């Protein structure tokens, strides 16, 4: 094992469809990536970060992410998060983390009634490890979204509290594709080690394909993972 | 015992699905307003009496069937 290659587990649920893209992007950025089936009750021992990818786990039955949170792996993910280790949820992964109570708020059907699939501009509100250390506050990122239920919602009091705590990490800049409260595109938990976002950083890791901005988020995660991994001597 | 759970989007929460239904009904010529779309969950509950069934289904709503941030629910126990 090469000490400086961060190990990341990408969890595949029944209905995930961006799991391989996440694995590809993280691997391209230098991670040793494990695709982990949701039925696994534990995470690989030496894993330094967990990514819940996009898709339509359990067919979005009941509510997006509502069923996936009962997957056997989720207890281990919650434990990992409780230990302060980084967990990133992208799109459906974000929905799952909200339903699991690991992130504040909930994702609702887009206000437009339409599925949106396009590049969107984002503004970085928080530049901090483990998810946005490679960005600067106020920076504009272009990353695609593709979702039908991406309108993040929190009651006004909760939304204000998150704003005060600095838990709003990303906002849509000008063009809100889904009608989310306060243009929120990505949030972290109170401790800052669990993040969810609707845009897909794993689909924006190469300027040849439109944008490389997503790599800033994934590389931030890998930096944090690398720092956290004890180096064997 | 039979239980029926009605889950509705909370008041004041934007309901795009309800809006689409309302628009379609208007398109058909019906004079309607404020359409909201929720969901119905019918259950067979193994419980000794209606009170116990009610309490059980209440827990189900809180833990899974409804998301308290955005949805309200109503439980009916029959038979």
Q: What is the 3-state secondary structure (H, E, C) of A81-130?
A: HHCCCCEEEECHHHHHHHHCCCCCCEEECCCCCCCEEEEEEEEECCCCCC
Phi-psi region of A92 (alpha: psi -120 to 50; beta: other; left: phi over 0): alpha
- What is the rounded CA–CA span in Å between residue A31 and residue A154? 34
Say if residue A230's pLDDT is above 80: no
- What is the rounded CA–CA span in Å between residue B65 and residue B40? 10
Among the partner residues A62, A108, A110, nearest to B70 by beta-carbon distance: A108
User: How confident is the model over B3-12, as a mean pLDDT?
Assistant: 95
What count of other Cβ atoms lies within 10 Å of the Cβ of residue B55? 12
Say if residue A2's pLDDT is above 70: no
pLDDT at A113: 87
User: How confident is the model over A149-172, as a mean pLDDT?
Assistant: 97
Q: Which two tokens stand for residue A187?
A: 């949030």
Closest CA to B70 of A206, A204, A152: A152
Q: CA of A151, closest CA in chain B: separation in Å?
A: 10
Percent over 70 (pLDDT), chain A: 96
Among the partner residues B16, B64, B69, nearest to A109 by beta-carbon distance: B16
User: Each residue of A97-142: pLDDT tens digit?
Assistant: 999 999 999 999 999 989 999 999 999 999 999 999 999 999 999 9
CA angle A17, A20, A22 (to 5 degrees): 100
Show which residues on chain A lie within 8 Å of chain B, measured between beta carbons: 62-63, 66, 99, 105-106, 108-113, 151, 153-155, 179
**Tokens 């307003």 sit at which residue?**
B33
- Contact by Cβ (8 Å): A192, A201: no
Per-residue b/e over A45-79, b at no fewer than 16 CB within 10 Å? eebbbbbbbbbbbbebebbbbbbbbebebbebbbe
Q: CA of A140, closest CA in chain B: separation in Å?
A: 29
pLDDT at A228: 66
Q: Is residue B66 classed as helix, strand or coil in its secondary structure?
A: coil
Average pLDDT, chain A: 94
User: Each residue of A50-65: pLDDT tens digit?
Assistant: 999 999 999 999 999 9
Say if residue A26's pLDDT is above 80: yes
Chain B residue with Cα closest to A70: B64
Determine whether the interchain pair A154/B69 forms a contact, defined as Cβ–Cβ distance below 8 Å. yes
Determine whether the interchain pair A106/B20 forms a contact, defined as Cβ–Cβ distance below 8 Å. no
Show which residues on chain B lie within 8 Å of chain A, measured between beta carbons: 13-14, 16-17, 19-20, 64-65, 67, 69-70
Say if residue A3's pLDDT is above 70: no
Say if residue A45's pLDDT is above 90: no
Is A38 one of the catalytic residues? Answer: no
What count of other Cβ atoms lies within 10 Å of the Cβ of residue B49? 9
Q: What is the DSSP letter of A54?
A: -
Q: Of these residues, A91, A98, A99, A147, which one is catalytic?
A: A91
Confidence of residue A233 (pLDDT cuts 50, 70, 90): very low
Predicted-complex ipTM score? 0.85
CA–CA distance from B57 to each of A182, A198, B13, B20, B54 (Å)? 34, 32, 24, 30, 5
- Enter the pTM of the model: 0.93
Rounded (to 5) percent helix, strand, coil in chain A:
30, 25, 45
Q: CA of B18, closest CA in chain A: separation in Å?
A: 10
Is A79 one of the catalytic residues? Answer: no
Is A64 one of the catalytic residues? Answer: no
Say if residue B75's pLDDT is above 70: yes
User: How confident is the model over A149-176, as a mean pLDDT?
Assistant: 97
């Amino acid at each position: 094992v090469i000490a400086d290659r961060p190990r990341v587990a990408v969890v595949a649920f029944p209905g995930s469809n961006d799991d391989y893209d996440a694995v590809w992007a993280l691997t391209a950025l230098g991670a040793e990536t494990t695709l982990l089936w949701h039925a696994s009750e534990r995470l690989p021992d030496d894993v330094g970060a967990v990514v819940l990818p996009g898709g339509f786990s359990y067919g979005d039955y009941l509510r997006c992410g509502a069923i996936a949170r009962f997957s056997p792996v989720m207890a281990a993910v919650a434990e990992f998060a409780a230990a302060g280790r980084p967990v990133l949820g992208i799109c459906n992964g974000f929905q799952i983390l909200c339903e699991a109570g690991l992130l504040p708020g909930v994702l609702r059907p887009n206000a437009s009634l339409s599925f949106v699939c396009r590049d969107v501009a984002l503004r970085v509100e928080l530049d901090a490890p483990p998810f946005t250390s490679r960005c600067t506050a106020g920076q504009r990122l272009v990353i695609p979204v593709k979702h039908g239920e991406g309108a993040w919602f929190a009651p006004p009091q909760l939304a204000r509290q998150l704003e005060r705590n600095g838990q709003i990490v990303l906002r849509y800049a000008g063009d809100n594709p889904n009608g989310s409260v306060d243009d929120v595109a990505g949030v972290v938990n109170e401790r800052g080690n669990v993040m969810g976002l609707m845009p897909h950083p794993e689909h924006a890791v190469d300027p040849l394909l439109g944008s490389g901005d997503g790599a800033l988020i994934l590389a931030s995660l890998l930096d944090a993972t690398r720092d956290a991994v004890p180096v064997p001597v | 015992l039979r239980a029926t759970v009605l889950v509705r989007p909370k008041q004041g929460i934007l309901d795009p699905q309800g809006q689409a239904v309302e628009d379609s009904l208007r398109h058909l010529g019906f004079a309607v307003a404020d359409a909201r779309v929720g969901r119905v969950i019918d259950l067979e509950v193994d419980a000794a009496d209606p009170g116990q069934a009610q309490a059980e289904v209440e827990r189900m709503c809180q833990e899974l069937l409804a998301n308290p941030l955005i949805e309200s629910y109503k439980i009916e126990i029959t038979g």
